[in-house]
Chains A and B, each alone.
Chain A
């Protein structure tokens, strides 16, 4: 294809304009990562799923056609032993075993599910990052004393890791008594060792980098090096792990509910509890188990897609 000189000049102008804009735009690591996330279809799918999930969790309860606790089915005499009516035009997902509108309960349950996922991940992230950060700084920058601190903390983490995660969560939940807070703590504690190990490893490898050597050669104090140089460079994998943990946290919270260690206040629907309740009626109406299960799977998929995409976007080896 040949272009007329005028067109060619126009094209060059446009290109150089684009290049100039690109130059001003290419800023920090995070902005660069965000730019790459937008170009990744998996990230967009994940983000859309999560956006819908969060939207439903926030505004859903105000829009539902029926109250989540309203036992319409029983009132109208539709629920008999061995019979749970299926979906109708008015009740899209049918009724649950107590005659409540399943669709409304799914919508309202999103909020509790999101809350459990986010809060328990934050608990795990906070404790794990604290232990891992101290350990990593001590191992990477400290002397003999630092190694001692690191070893002590890591043996503790190893103890947590040695226990199967669900067993650990069950023990904590059983120890503290069933409540919503307990579920969050139990699920959070389970993810502590992963965050701690990850941040520590990441910090130790960063502590050997040239810019840490350069900062040391300028007399910068170790604590300052740890906080301004090592930690910000080590956070990327931890943040990615957090999005992945959100998905497993929801599933683990559901598992705890399923085992009867969840929130005893059954008036507030939660997908895990709904799944647990549905098991008794699998023979009569299996769809009651399928709705919450599919919802949990899709949400977990959303978090996982976004997390994986973030891992790619933040990987410095893939950065130009």
Chain B
């Protein structure tokens, strides 16, 4: 059984007098123990809202509705009361955020912020907590951890800050780590280091990792399974290799096409997906991606496309998927070419 099983997760923000926004519209995926799962998509596709909903961190406001299930180790996280949710956070599931500077409290030293978690979940205090905090900083590759414990966030470099945040997240050896674009705010070289660190932590401790990113390079380097999100729904799920070798959903194809490649010719242009995420069709009226899709057919509009489960364990939500070479092409291939 999967460690985390998200089923039909739906998040809507409703405002009086305005159309409700379906930020997440029936997302399902699962994370196995020790597995690295990617949640990929453009800005605004609902990836961050998905992670916040799982953690129960969405701001409590009137008009917010969260539906579906997020079963973690047998308990539905969405049904938990505040107290048990707080107990799970940080101990069983921890989260790493995008901007390490604003995610650390600027006015108290790093050490205090790390020991806070240790005190909360492991009951450690004083000397023992300080020792463990130093060990944690050491583990995430912060040099001279004893001195760093006394320093404030602004004295650390961006990479160090993200390492400190990771140290706080792994302090209680959680079984699931959710990383919400952990490298977006960092330099490329630092990005690589942080990803390497995350990989190492996952390998050594058997922690599962839910990697939320828009960066296909990160996905290619880390994830075992990839879920591609568009307009609040999963449009394609596959293991990493098949996804990169042979994407089926036109959106995935578009994402891959818009990434610069080293082996491309110098004069070759990138192929951005036309339009923007905002040009989406509401899912009930058809495929949300249809307005931007190169393989659009008449069937794309009118009814939402069903999730197609292919023979090799992958699935996609498309009525006219990218053909697999060597297979008999679908009959409507020529009209869209």
Q: B98's closest neighbor in chain A, by CB?
A: A210
Give the interface size bracket for B toward A: 20 to 34
Contacts of B89 in A (CB 8 A): 216-219
Min CB gap B73→A, angstroms: 16
C-alpha gap A29/B97 in the complex (Å): 23
Interface hits, B102-122 → A, CB 8 Å: 102-108, 112-113, 116-117, 120-121
Contact B106 A29 (CB under 8 A): yes
- Using known A-B contacts A217-B94, A218-B90, A220-B117, determine if residue A233 contacts B107 with beta carbons closer than 8 Å: yes
Contact B57 A29 (CB under 8 A): no
Q: How many residues of A contact B (CB 8 A)?
A: 25
Contact A233 B106 (CB under 8 A): yes
Contacts of B120 in A (CB 8 A): 218-221, 224
Interface flags, B78-96, vs A, CB<8A=1, else 0: 0000000011111100110
C-alpha gap A239/B176 in the complex (Å): 42
Q: A28's closest neighbor in chain B, by CB?
A: B152
Interface hits, B274-298 → A, CB 8 Å: none
Contacts of B116 in A (CB 8 A): 215, 218, 220, 224, 228
Min CB gap B220→A, angstroms: 27
C-alpha gap A143/B155 in the complex (Å): 35
Interface hits, B221-264 → A, CB 8 Å: none
Contact B107 A219 (CB under 8 A): no
Contact B103 A213 (CB under 8 A): yes
Q: A319's closest neighbor in chain B, by CB?
A: B154
Contacts of B103 in A (CB 8 A): 210-211, 213-214
C-alpha gap A50/B242 in the complex (Å): 73
Contacts of B171 in A (CB 8 A): 218
Q: B150's closest neighbor in chain A, by CB?
A: A27
Contact B108 A232 (CB under 8 A): yes
Q: Is A229 interfacial (CB 8 A cutoff)?
A: yes
Q: A26's closest neighbor in chain B, by CB?
A: B155
Q: Is A264 interfacial (CB 8 A cutoff)?
A: no
Q: Is B133 interfacial (CB 8 A cutoff)?
A: no
Contact A143 B57 (CB under 8 A): no
Q: Is B99 interfacial (CB 8 A cutoff)?
A: yes
Min CB gap A223→B, angstroms: 11
Interface hits, A130-161 → B, CB 8 Å: 143
Contacts of B104 in A (CB 8 A): 211, 214
Min CB gap A36→B, angstroms: 14
Contact B105 A215 (CB under 8 A): yes
Contacts of A214 in B (CB 8 A): 95, 97, 103-104, 165, 168
Contact B97 A210 (CB under 8 A): yes
C-alpha gap A232/B108 in the complex (Å): 8
Q: Is B136 interfacial (CB 8 A cutoff)?
A: no
Contacts of B59 in A (CB 8 A): 208
Contacts of B86 in A (CB 8 A): 219-221
Q: Is B140 interfacial (CB 8 A cutoff)?
A: no
Q: Is B60 interfacial (CB 8 A cutoff)?
A: yes
C-alpha gap A220/B57 in the complex (Å): 13
Min CB gap A208→B, angstroms: 8
Min CB gap A254→B, angstroms: 37
Contacts of B154 in A (CB 8 A): 26, 319
Q: Is A209 interfacial (CB 8 A cutoff)?
A: yes
Contact A218 B168 (CB under 8 A): yes
Q: Assuming A29-B106, A213-B57, A218-B116, what are 14 further A-B pairs, CB within 8 angstroms?
A: A27-B155, A208-B59, A214-B95, A214-B103, A217-B89, A218-B89, A219-B90, A219-B117, A220-B86, A221-B86, A229-B108, A232-B108, A233-B106, A319-B154
- Which residues of B line the A interface, CB within 8 A? 55, 57, 59-60, 86-91, 94-95, 97, 99, 102-108, 112-113, 116-117, 120-121, 152, 154-155, 165, 168-169, 171
19 A–B contacts from the bound complex (CB under 8 Å): A26-B154, A26-B155, A208-B59, A210-B99, A210-B103, A211-B104, A213-B57, A214-B168, A215-B105, A215-B116, A217-B89, A217-B95, A218-B90, A219-B86, A219-B88, A219-B121, A220-B90, A316-B106, A319-B154
- Which residues of A line the B interface, CB within 8 A? 26-29, 143, 208-211, 213-221, 224, 228-229, 232-233, 316, 319
Q: Would you list the 6 A-B pairs with minimal beta carbon distance, nearest first? A: A219-B90, A218-B90, A219-B89, A210-B102, A217-B95, A214-B103
